[in-house]
């Protein structure tokens, strides 16, 4: 499986962000012949207030974002793991991953479980629960013969979710994010490698980069592909860009046979 990660610097302009995402996906697929392409968290809109985020939301299926992504996946013949988007359902909103298959059909929908309500070391407060409600379902999907698990950003700090994804047969786990600069520089790579090692899966961590909210907030970027032994095999440079890697799924079986942790749990 060939995977490509799209690292963006999304702002509070949905039309511009969506156009950038489409352009970057088209470009990387043409260059890399990708099977699976991943966008970051809140790729279509990254604002600063609950009102802004709610106004950007769409009801699925339908809506500009949904239809554009479906067509994008179909036109390129890829599986498109569309980071996350604000989903509107009645009076509630969710931070939701959509996945589309090569025929343009919806393969999966995952609502972020763990919400980022944090006061960071540099004094900036984040209250994601002011904008969205939490999801409750552990979600995997099939990309060809490969089982892919879904998570989003702050989920990375809760290993029980990733064990559940592995127990549901995940060969690959995808984590789109808008990881903060303050926590990212110390925790992003350490946590991503830990999740890959303990689940013995390929781990695709795809981040936003640079500043948003009129420069008041910043994301770490450093999108990366990590193999089941915990080695980083691809990483984006600083700034907007892409990175790609070929996943050797036979290697996953080798790692799991050599260190069969899934057979040794006692709790």
147-178 pLDDT, tens digit per residue, is 999 999 999 999 999 999 999 999 999 999 99
Q: Residue 265's pLDDT is what?
A: 87
Catalytic annotation, pick one of 41, 58, 87, 128: 41
Q: What is the domain extent for residue 156?
A: 2-263
- Catalytic residue, candidates 14, 58, 87, 112: 112
Residue 122 has pLDDT above 80, yes or no: no
Q: Cα dihedral sign for 182, 127, 138, 81?
A: negative
Question: d(Cα 8, Cα 61) in Å, to the nearest integer?
Answer: 24
How many Å apart are CA 210 and CA 33, to the nearest integer? 27
Q: What is the pLDDT of residues 199-221, one digit of tens each?
A: 999 999 999 999 998 888 999 99
112 is known as an active-site residue: yes
Average pLDDT of the residues of the chain:
96
pLDDT band for position 126 (cuts 50, 70, 90): confident
Ramachandran quadrant class, 200 (left: phi over 0; alpha: psi -120 to 50; beta: rest): left
Provide the CATH number for the domain around residue 86: 3.60.110.10
> Which of 128, 150, 153, 219 is labelled catalytic?
153
Statement: residue 252 has pLDDT above 80: yes
| CB-facing half-sphere around the CA of 116: CA atoms within 13 A | 19
Its pTM stands at 0.95
Q: Distance (Å, rounded) from C-alpha 180 to C-alpha 3? A: 24
- Count how many domains the chain has: 1
Tens of pLDDT, residue by residue over 42-60, are: 999 999 899 999 999 999 9
Q: How much of the chain exceeds pLDDT 70, in percent?
A: 100
């Amino acid at each position: 499986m060939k995977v490509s990660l799209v690292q963006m610097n999304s702002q509070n302009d949905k039309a511009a962000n969506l156009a950038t995402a489409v352009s970057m996906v088209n470009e990387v697929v043409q260059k890399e012949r990708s099977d699976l392409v991943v966008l970051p968290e809140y790729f279509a809109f990254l604002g600063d207030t609950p009102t802004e985020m709610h106004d950007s939301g769409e009801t699925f299926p339908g809506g500009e974002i949904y239809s554009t992504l479906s067509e994008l996946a179909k036109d390129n013949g890829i599986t498109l793991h569309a980071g996350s988007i604000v989903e509107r359902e009645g009076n509630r909103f969710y931070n939701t991953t959509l996945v589309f298959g090569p025929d343009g059909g919806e393969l999966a929908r995952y609502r972020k479980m763990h919400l980022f309500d944090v006061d960071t070391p540099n004094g900036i407060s984040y209250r994601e629960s002011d904008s969205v409600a939490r999801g409750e379902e552990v979600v995997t999907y099939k990309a060809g013969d490969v089982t892919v698990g879904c998570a989003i950003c702050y989920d990375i700090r809760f290993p029980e979710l990733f064990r559940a994804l592995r127990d549901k047969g995940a060969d690959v786990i995808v984590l789109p994010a808008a990881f903060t600069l303050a926590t990212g520089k110390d925790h992003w790579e350490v946590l991503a490698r830990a999740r890959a090692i303990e689940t013995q899966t390929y781990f695709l961590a795809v981040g936003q980069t640079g500043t948003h909210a009129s420069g008041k907030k910043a994301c770490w970027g450093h999108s990366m592909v990590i193999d089941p032994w915990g080695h980083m095999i691809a990483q984006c440079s600083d700034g907007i860009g892409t990175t790609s890697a070929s996943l050797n799924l036979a290697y996953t079986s080798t790692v799991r046979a050599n260190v069969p942790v899934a057979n040794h749990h006692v709790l």
